Structure 1
């Protein structure tokens, strides 16, 4: 097997086809343009693995650039993704070779850190490369309507309809009792993010945090321009001034809070989460989920809003050997990672 880096312009069709065949049916030209070419942090890098004899493509992997604020330093980093291997070639050898090529993007000087959210199968690959799980990312979940669960157990009947009314009312009352008035104006934002978001981000930056740089260009690309998922943004304002925002979307009966940023004033984050609970409930969502890295400073906010921890997935972080000082910061500062910080 041989591994070579792709030319994104020349190999566009090859990448789209390989991903559609071995990873996701959602792979198309629109996804490629958005994810690989239009990222405001720069273009992606991709590698393909070929059978040495037939030259047939048997897998690929990619790295997507991110600007990351590590305390008071902004660094260039990468998130790994779009890793796939043909079913007949899924042995440890090809996976190791491909993943090693991705990690070289850090050691080559093109960035200083990369991270990934691997499956349990991929964790075996990382362990063979000497990289263990850094932290877990936890899915926090909250039921806001009981209709789906009741119907699954009782079917559609007069009895189930009555149970749904009582159950939904109970959930709504609990949230109303807990909710406090913060004096914030919270509303869905229809316009693109602008320089106001840059100014706010600079004002609330904390030297003890590690988080992705959230420029308006990044927010508009990551959320408003997403070709597959219609992501919306709500803003929180106090006397007209932006003090926080959240990004969210819906998949069927399930709602997802992809990003919550309220600075160091956690009452702002809680008000944003409360507003999304009410919004999702009115839109008929059954369950709301939010993925937060273990130890995320906002975890108590979600717990206070009635969310409960569910399954976990590993977070892997690899730091360039040329930056041992950065490695120390990575292990001591607070990571603010949510599902919005993934590749797609």
Structure 2
């Protein structure tokens, strides 16, 4: 057999250029389930709150066969605001696996990150893949932070069992009535002066709220109006429900929700933030979320939360059960002046599903 006929074409690594979009989308369609359109791509990679993404590609001739990208985001590290990034979309064409493509791309991407002023990046991966990042030969150290907890609450036992065992509707309703009596935890918010209203977008008041609420943790994405509207309002093809908590016309918290319909309807608490040391605000926002989910016929509610956050304890008291998320949160440092002890301590981080790119 002639080896020249079976050898893979040579490939090289370069930075993204204007006009690469269709080739990248074609690669996504081949390598990943669920294709994305150009509108979505522009939203995520061109129109981010801290500028366009840093994208590096592997190409064989004119064909794009690999990609690794990071989206810049404003991040709070201690008392300073710096330029961070989230790692997304690590893609290799199936015909070019095990050729060292991603290692070659990452070396260029990481050097470029530092050159573009990115101080820190973060991301999640499944636990079987995550150790590979730490073993990479790179001058920019990678650290495992923690495994986020998956919190789950069943709010309709009847719908959950019906989706699996085809239980008749009458029996399902009886089970739901009994389940509600067992699991309900009622709280009165009538005399708190707090109201939670659904809104279509975040207004300027969220910036003043962020300045007060950011004290909850020392390492987190900046949740200002620009970021939140980009993430939850401008995103194509995803419909989020936003509830703002107010007291005397002052914004004191928010929660962002999402529905998914497969064999049953599931609800997701995608983002949650309230003024520190005021558990009643968090409790009210979660209660409002449960009210919305019940009205939508949701069977189970899911939330991703770090165990060191105050919201974790509140969710557990409200009946959420902890499950294994299978995810690992990690970070890579590009700025040697960042205090390593600060950014590697999981107790300093605030991270929710919305800070990832999968919900």
**TM-score past 0.5 threshold:** yes
Equivalent position of 1:18 in the other structure: 27
- CA distance in structure 2 between the aligned counterparts of 1:331 and 1:155, rounded to whole angstroms: 47
Deviation of the 1:173 alpha carbon: 3.1
Equivalent position of 1:70 in the other structure: 77
Deviation of the 1:132 alpha carbon: 4.9
Deviation of the 1:185 alpha carbon: 0.7
Deviation of the 1:331 alpha carbon: 2.5
Equivalent position of 2:180 in the other structure: 172
SS in 2 for 1:193: coil
- 134-143 or 168-177, which deviates more: 168-177
Deviation of the 1:147 alpha carbon: 3.0
SS in 2 for 1:205: helix
1:45-99 superposed Cα distances (whole Å, 9 cap, x missing partner)? 2111134xx5643211111011001221101001010111122322272232233
Equivalent position of 2:289 in the other structure: 276
- State which of 330, 334, 341 in structure 1 corresponds to 2:343: 330
- State which of 252, 270, 295 in structure 2 corresponds to 1:258: 270
The answer as to 2:259 corresponding to 1:232 is no
Q: TM-score, normalised by structure 1?
A: 0.90
Summarize the Cα distance change of 1:300–1:79 in structure 2 as closer, same or farther, 3 Å threshold: same
Equivalent position of 1:297 in the other structure: 310
Kept in 1, the 8 Å contact 2:56–2:105? The answer is yes
Q: Greater helix share, 1 or 2?
A: 1
Which ranges of structure 1 fall in alignment gaps of 5 or more residues? none
Kept in 2, the 8 Å contact 1:150–1:163? The answer is no
Summarize the Cα distance change of 1:258–1:26 in structure 2 as closer, same or farther, 3 Å threshold: same
1:129-159 superposed Cα distances (whole Å, 9 cap, x missing partner)? 16353211221111111233322454243xx
The answer as to 2:94 corresponding to 1:82 is no
SS in 2 for 1:133: strand
Deviation of the 1:343 alpha carbon: 2.8
Equivalent position of 1:2 in the other structure: 12
The answer as to 2:215 corresponding to 1:206 is yes
Equivalent position of 1:99 in the other structure: 106
- CA distance in structure 2 between the aligned counterparts of 1:208 and 1:29, rounded to whole angstroms: 36
How much is the aligned-residue C-alpha RMSD, in angstroms? Answer: 2.2
Equivalent position of 2:65 in the other structure: 58
Deviation of the 1:108 alpha carbon: 2.9
The answer as to 2:140 corresponding to 1:128 is no
- 330-339 or 301-310, which deviates more: 330-339
1:184-232 superposed Cα distances (whole Å, 9 cap, x missing partner)? 2112113x21110001111233174221111212111110111121012
Summarize the Cα distance change of 1:302–1:195 in structure 2 as closer, same or farther, 3 Å threshold: same
The answer as to 2:150 corresponding to 1:142 is no
- 91-100 or 243-252, which deviates more: 91-100
Kept in 2, the 8 Å contact 1:5–1:47? The answer is yes
Summarize the Cα distance change of 1:337–1:177 in structure 2 as closer, same or farther, 3 Å threshold: closer
| Number of equivalenced pairs | 336
SS in 2 for 1:41: coil
- CA distance in structure 2 between the aligned counterparts of 1:285 and 1:194, rounded to whole angstroms: 29
- CA distance in structure 2 between the aligned counterparts of 1:168 and 1:219, rounded to whole angstroms: 35
Summarize the Cα distance change of 1:177–1:138 in structure 2 as closer, same or farther, 3 Å threshold: closer
Which ranges of structure 2 fall in alignment gaps of 5 or more residues? 1-10
Equivalent position of 2:6 in the other structure: none
- CA distance in structure 2 between the aligned counterparts of 1:256 and 1:18, rounded to whole angstroms: 29
